Homo-oligomer: A and B are copies of this chain.
Amino acid sequence: MVAHLPPMVPDVVQIDYPDWVREAIAWDAVYRTDEERMRLAIAVSRENVERDTGGPFGAAIFESDSGRLVAVGMNSVVRLNNCTLHGEMVAFMMAQVRLRSFTLNAPHLPAHELVTSCEPCAMCLGATLWSGVRRVVFGAGREDASRLRFDEGPVFPESYRYLEARGITIVRKVLREEAVAVLERYRAKNGMIYNG
């Protein structure tokens, strides 16, 4: 027999940032180039590992033209007991709550983009399509994550073609070595591999 289920209340999922986010992020800086934006995403991934708040993945949402930072996201799966909270997903959610819009492609908004320290998994690539970002920049690749036994799920070359056909630009392997260094640091710390 299985144990009785815990009570249903509270039926609320609350997603917040770890404490270090307020101090570690230059919220008011302008991030002009892909490299500057990627450096921030990688810094988020690194802090998440060093502070023991999650897996080695960081992401950020920027206004494409102005370079303004809208939101960051860090892997929060274990910290918040929620398999959906990859870095990209946290970044999308935080950006949309901040802008009070379920799409970052709303008519009153400037173009937005996702910058992520590692190639998105199948879930995050799907969410990218729904998020309204017009551009995706990633650092480490699928094969780098796989070396740590992080599964990326069913992503195929035609998955990217599907996004590109809907006007989303994909930019690959910006500052890849710096992003991979954080993956390696997580492995050296014996970080948890939390596939379902």
List residues of A whose CB falls within 8 A of some B CB.
Answer: 2, 5-6, 8, 11-17, 21, 27, 63, 65-66, 68, 70, 77-78, 80-84, 89, 92-94, 96-105, 110, 121-127, 129-133, 151, 153-154, 156, 158-159, 162-163, 194-196
The residue from B5, B81, B196 contacting A129, defined by CB atoms under 8 A apart: B196
* Contacting pair A96 B68 (CB below 8 A): no
Q: Check B77–A84 contact: CB distance below 8 A.
A: no
Partner of A2, one of B17, B110, B121: B110
Q: Is the CB of B66 within 8 A of A83?
A: no
B110 close to A96 (CB less than 8 A) = no
Q: A120's closest neighbor in chain B, by CB?
A: B126
Task: Give this chain's copy count.
Answer: 2
Of B16, B83, B127, the residue contacting A83 (CB under 8 A) is: B127
A131 and B6 form a contact (CB under 8 A): no
Q: In the complex, what residues of B have CB within 8 A of residue A81's CB?
A: 96-97, 99-102
Instruction: Give the docked Cα–Cα distance between A103 and B196 (Å).
Output: 5
- List the B residue with the shortest CB-CB distance to A103: B196
